[in-house]
Amino acid sequence: MTGDSTARPLEKVWPFEKRSALLAIAVGGFVAGSLDLLQACILFAWDIPLAIAGGLLGKQAFHGGAGTYVFGVCCTSSSPLRLPPSTTAPAARCVS
């Protein structure tokens, strides 16, 4: 280490100005949704997003193209984002 290096506070090293629950929910939800989809694709087949979209669109989803596949991926990825806000907001109200 050089003589001019000093310990910097965490606030200056952390890339975000302040930590927010919304950021944590978004990042955690994205990671959880991605792992959930990867696990489902490995266990069942890479057509699982079509089956997920079929739950909303019906049997014609299995004959859909890339748009239907992306719709199924979005449905799976958005699933873990629903629960944390509904539990974080009441908990924050109880603490403050």
What per-residue confidence (pLDDT) applies to 42? 93
| For range 56-83, the mean pLDDT | 84
Q: What percent of the chain has pLDDT over 90?
A: 11
| For range 52-81, the mean pLDDT | 86
Over residues 22-65, the pLDDT tens digits come to 777 778 888 888 888 899 899 998 889 998 899 889 888 888 88
The rounded Cα 59 to chain-centroid distance in angstroms is 27
Q: What are the structure tokens assigned to 62, written together? A: 């299995």
